[in-house]
Structure 1
Amino acid sequence: MTDHETGSPTGPALEPSDLGRRVALRRQQLGLTREQVAARAAAAPDYLRYVEEQPATPGMGFMLRLAEALDTSVAELVGGTAELPAGLGRAAARPEVLVLTVQECRELLATHGVGRVAVTVADAPAVFPVNYTVAGKLVAYRTAPDAGPAAAAGHEAALEVDHLDDAFSAGWSVLVVGPAHAVTDLDELLTLEENAYTAPWVGGGRRQWIAIRPKRVTGRRIRVQGSRRRSRTPGPEDAGTGMDSGVDSGEYA
């Protein structure tokens, strides 16, 4: 290892850098081990561990190989696109649009994350990002009783989840539609709390659970022909896009 490391992998334990967090998250999204990524990037597993767990400063040669190994870009790994809207990549020359099955949609939803819920507030449509959780047949999120996302309770609601891959101009999108309600049942509340992947990022004591019981779940995926993407049931490593998802429907039961 000559062109890609500065500092010693055997140094004292320190907090991981932003780069390390992004590398570890992307690797986990792809479902890869350190050994697999290290082999792809022509690096030692111990050095990849060092990059993930320590404030390392790798050289550009290693960063280019690492980005290739993780199906992303150097800009994404170093946070250069963090303040930019997703989807800045140009359309691919040969995109393929696939309709996702209900099972594929469920698997993508089950990875948790941030979605967008569409509601009506003061007689006007509004869309809010929410940290959502899947628990059984419910898709739920926490909010404040007087916040915009709480307006979904008592109405038919739509929640959209997607993931973008600017490096490949590819992605997936899943749309959930069904009646929403404010959760008051104690057993239901306990189930949601136990399955909550994270607290709301906005903080502020948002404890009101709003649950959607899906009646229709649809999705699409844009895949670039000839890319390194494996043909299989989409997982969190399959990127997504906010394309229209409300085409083919299916029951979420």
Structure 2
Amino acid sequence: MPERTQTNTDTPAERPLGDLGRRLATRRAQLGLTLPEAATRADMATSYLKHLEEHPGAAPGRGTLLHLADALETTVPELAGGAVDLPPGLEQAAGRPEFTKLSTDECRSLLGTHGVGRIAVSTGSGPVVVPVNYSVVDGAIVFRTAPGATPSLAVGHRVAFEVDRIDDAFSRGWSVLVQGRGRAVTDPDEARRLADSAHSRPWAGGERELWVRIDMQAVTGRRITV
């Protein structure tokens, strides 16, 4: 298949919202594609795709974005950042979805080493679910928070922790639920080790020096495919 280079035949598009290059590279990594493989799928030159990923100011035309969205199994709004403030799952359900349980090993693999998950804790006014930046260290969920903040209420209690991935373009995805008891990491050496090993820092910023560890007592997951 001949490589497709950028030409002036594309209909001009509005400047992409957000960092298009980062979104392209992230989606390509999620699919496990190399740069040449993704470029071949999109019928464009590898050098041009590399340019799009590495130059934040790149503004390809609508036609190019459509080729990229198709190649990366996503949508133009997702690539351009137009769906950043929209909740996942707005697309229609697939015609004949398949619903399967994930094994414990699959669940642990999907949890990965870091990301954003949601922790459910009990408060004086009832149960609350909040997002946290987490890592998996020594088989446990770990995250940093501030004393008195909602996530810190996990300390000393059995809690639920959930992560998921939804692919709106293809109406498929997965979710993993962890149940376990939270504890504060009070040993200075352990806290330093977590700081060195964890991949995610709290996006909220500020002083968040309390490390919380959730040992996985029960891990379950489900996947929806087409």
TM-score (norm 1): 0.81
Map of 1:23-42 to 2, 5 A cutoff?
A: 23-42=24-43
Take 1:4 and 1:87, find their aligned partners in 2: how far apart are those partners? 30
| RMSD, matched Cα | 1.6
> Residues 113 and 186 of structure 1: is their aligned pair in 2 closer, same or farther, counting only changes over 3 Å?
same
Counterpart of 1:217? Answer: 219
Question: Which structure 2 segments of 5+ residues have no match?
Answer: 13-17
> Is the contact between residue 119 and residue 129 of structure 2 (CA under 8 Å) also seen in structure 1?
yes
Take 1:37 and 1:137, find their aligned partners in 2: how far apart are those partners? 33
Counterpart of 2:15? Answer: none
- Of Structure 1 and Structure 2, the greater helix share is in 2
Counterpart of 2:161? Answer: 159
> Is the contact between residue 113 and residue 137 of structure 2 (CA under 8 Å) also seen in structure 1?
no
Letter in 1 for 2:119: V
Counterpart of 1:106? Answer: 108
Match of 2:95 among 87, 93, 96: 93
Letter in 1 for 2:186: T
Letter in 1 for 2:202: P
Take 2:215 and 2:99, find their aligned partners in 1: how far apart are those partners? 27
Take 2:34 and 2:100, find their aligned partners in 1: how far apart are those partners? 28
Take 1:179 and 1:101, find their aligned partners in 2: how far apart are those partners? 21
| C-alpha distance after superposition, 1:69-128 (max 9, x if no partner) | 111111100011111111111111111011101111111101421100000111511111
Question: Which structure 1 segments of 5+ residues have no match?
Answer: 7-16, 225-253
Take 1:67 and 1:194, find their aligned partners in 2: how far apart are those partners? 37
Letter in 2 for 1:50: H
Counterpart of 1:174? Answer: 176
| C-alpha distance after superposition, 1:20-70 (max 9, x if no partner) | 111111112222111110010011111001001112111222211111111
Letter in 1 for 2:146: A
TM-score (norm 2): 0.90
SS in 2 for 1:23: helix
1:196: how far off? Answer: 1.7
> Is the contact between residue 110 and residue 134 of structure 1 (CA under 8 Å) also seen in structure 2?
yes
SS in 1 for 2:204: coil
Take 2:88 and 2:146, find their aligned partners in 1: how far apart are those partners? 27
Letter in 1 for 2:43: A
- Of Structure 1 and Structure 2, the greater strand share is in 2
> Is the contact between residue 5 and residue 58 of structure 1 (CA under 8 Å) also seen in structure 2?
no
| C-alpha distance after superposition, 1:195-238 (max 9, x if no partner) | 221210111111111110011000001011xxxxxxxxxxxxxx
Map of 1:13-162 to 2, 5 A cutoff?
A: 18-54=19-55, 55-162=57-164
> Residues 180 and 47 of structure 1: is their aligned pair in 2 closer, same or farther, counting only changes over 3 Å?
same
Which moves more between the two structures, 98-107 or 55-64? 55-64
Letter in 2 for 1:129: P
